Amino acid sequence: MITNPFDYTAPASLSEALALIAGGAKPLAGGMSLIPMMKLRLASPEHLVDLGRLPELNYIRDEGGEIHIGAGTTHYDIESSPLLRGKCPLLHETATCIGDIQVRNRGTIGGSIAHADPAADYPAALQALEAKIVLRSSSGERVVPTTEFFLDTFTTALEPNEIVSEIVVPTEPGLTGTSYKKFYQPASGFAVVGVAARVRQEGGKFSLVRVGVTGYAGSSYRAVSVEEALLGKPANAESIKAAAAHAAEGRDANSDLHASAAYRGGLLVTYMIRALTSALERSS
């Protein structure tokens, strides 16, 4: 189908882009979520500002124990980055699960998290990584932790004239095991449930546990009860199974044609166990 008419600008610099956005234009990154909506005329922005050609947003840099990723970095670049594969394998693994090759060639991490689809993959990983999200507008910059960025369905901390400019993830000391496990919706490939786990063990006990969940509820979340239930416990299957019972954190499960709330609940526990088990194996 065909979009409503719109103006299009591809600015040469980020500051030019931000000025246009402050003036009401809508940012366009990979377009993998926005353009289908526009073609169905469910979204009709009057002016699109293309962020896709800005080198200021496209980088993956190792700086002082943290990896800084430009918001305009494509899923493909994240998936194929040797730096991320070595130092932040959770993000690499998550990127491989997104959509398909064509989507990964164009979709960007900034665009994806700004869209905040309840079934997107990155939010689970970013929750588990305790990533920092850098937001920029023409008037300045601020940093928001992941837990304060994803607020609700399609709702983030972004103010109307802000864009995501950078995502910062930790590089892990020693042996941190991570894993992203996802149950694919058979039509769309979105996460019916997706769990990202990040663990460390010391002396046979869990010394660090961070778990991010996507797809289950209205937006992604940290499974804090699971984390607390595991910290200090023996690093084994029984602990994981017991902790996984807390996976839903009292949140309401989504329900749709493809998965009822009850089924999601069952899948969540299963995938919680699988992600934690896999992360634990990788931590030794």
Partner 1 sequence: MATTVTKIDKLVGKRVRRKEDPRLITGTATYVDDIVIPAMNHAAVVRSPHGAAKIKSIDISKAAELPGVVAVFVGADVLGVGTVPCGADLPGLRRPVHHILAQDRVYFVGHPVAVVVASNRYIAADGADLVEVEYEPLQAVTDVEKALADGAPAVHPEWPDNKAFTFSQTGGEPDKAFAEADVVLKQRIISQRLVPNPMETRGVVAEWRQAERALTIYTSTQVPHLARTILAGMLGLEEHRMRVVAPEVGGGFGCKLNIYAEEALMGFIAMRTGRPVKWIESRRENFLTTIHGRGHVDYYEIAAKRDGTILGLRLKIIQDIGAYHQLLTPAIPTLSVLMMPGLYNFRNIQADIVGTFTNCVPTDAYRGAGRPEATYGIERMVDILAAELKMDPAEIRLKNFVSKDQFPFPTATGLNYDSGDYHATLNKALTEIGYSDLREKQAEARAQGKLMGIGISTYGEICAFGPSPATPAGGWESATVKVEPSGKVTVLTGSSPHGQGEETTYAQIAADELGVPLDDIVVLHGDTSIVQYGIGTFGSRNTAVGGSALYYALQDIKEKMKKFGATLLDCDEVEFENGKCRDTKSGKEVSVGEIAGASYRAMKLPPGTDPGLVATKFWEPPNFTYPFGAHIIVSEIDRETGHINILRYVAVDDIGNILNPLLVDGQLHGGAAQGLGQALWEQAVYDDNGQLVTGEFMDYAMPRARSMPWIESSHTCTPSPVNPLGVKGVGEAGTIGSTPAMVNSVIDALSPLGVRHVDMPLTPEKIWKIVAEAGA
Partner 2 sequence: MKISGTSKVLPFPPERAYQLMQDPEVLAKAIPGCERLEKTGEDEYRLKMKMVLASLSGAFDGKVRLAEPVPPSSFRMIVEGSGKIGFMKGDGVLTLAARDGGTEVTYDGDAQVGGTMAAVGNRLIDTTAKLLIKRFFDKLAEQSA
Q: In this chain, which of 2, 64, 140, 250 binds partner 1, going by CB under 8 A?
A: 2
Under rule CB under 8 A, residue 190 binds partner 2 = yes
The edge-to-edge listing of strands for the beta sheet with 7-9 is: 7-9, 47-50, 26-28
Q: Note whether 189 and 267 are within 8 A (CB).
A: no
The listed partner (partner 1, partner 2, none) that binds 255, CB under 5 to 8 Å by sort, is partner 2
Query: How far is it between the farthest Cα atoms of the chain?
Result: 63
Residues 6+ apart with CB under 8 A from 140: none
Torsion sign across C-alpha atoms 56, 62, 67, 73: positive
- What's the rounded Cα separation, in Å, for the pair 284 and 249? 28
Which residue number, 33 or 283, has a Cβ lying nearer to partner 2?
33
Q: In this chain, which of 259, 275, 276, 280 binds partner 1, going by CB under 8 A?
A: 259
| 233-252 positions binding partner 2, by CB under 8 A | 252
List phi, psi (to 5°) of 133.
-110, 125
The listed partner (partner 1, partner 2, none) that binds 154, CB under 5 to 8 Å by sort, is partner 2
Which residue number, 147 or 185, has a Cβ lying nearer to partner 2?
185
x-marked contacts with partner 1 along 165-204 as a string, rule CB under 8 A: ------------------x-xxxx----------------
Under rule CB under 8 A, residue 4 binds partner 1 = yes
Considering the complex, what minimum distance in angstroms separates the CB of residue 225 from partner 1? 21
Q: In this chain, which of 12, 55, 155, 237 binds partner 2, going by CB under 8 A?
A: 155
Q: In this chain, which of 45, 70, 177, 212 binds partner 2, going by CB under 8 A?
A: 45
The listed partner (partner 1, partner 2, none) that binds 42, CB under 5 to 8 Å by sort, is partner 2
- DSSP assignment of 113-149, as one string? HHHT-TT-SHHHHHHHHT-EEEEEETTEEEEEEHHHH
Pairing state of beta strands 163-170 and 66-70?
A: antiparallel
Considering only CA atoms, which of 216, 182, 180 is closest in space to residue 197?
180
What is the 8-class DSSP label of residue 55?
Answer: G
Q: How far is CA 168 from CA 10, 66, 76, 145, in A?
A: 26, 7, 18, 10
Which residue number, 59 or 263, has a Cβ lying nearer to partner 1?
263
Q: In this chain, which of 18, 32, 34, 169 binds partner 2, going by CB under 8 A?
A: 34
Kindly list the residues in this chain that would bind partner 2 in the complex (CB under 8 A): 26, 33-34, 36-38, 40-45, 115-116, 118-119, 152-155, 185, 188, 190, 218, 252, 254-258
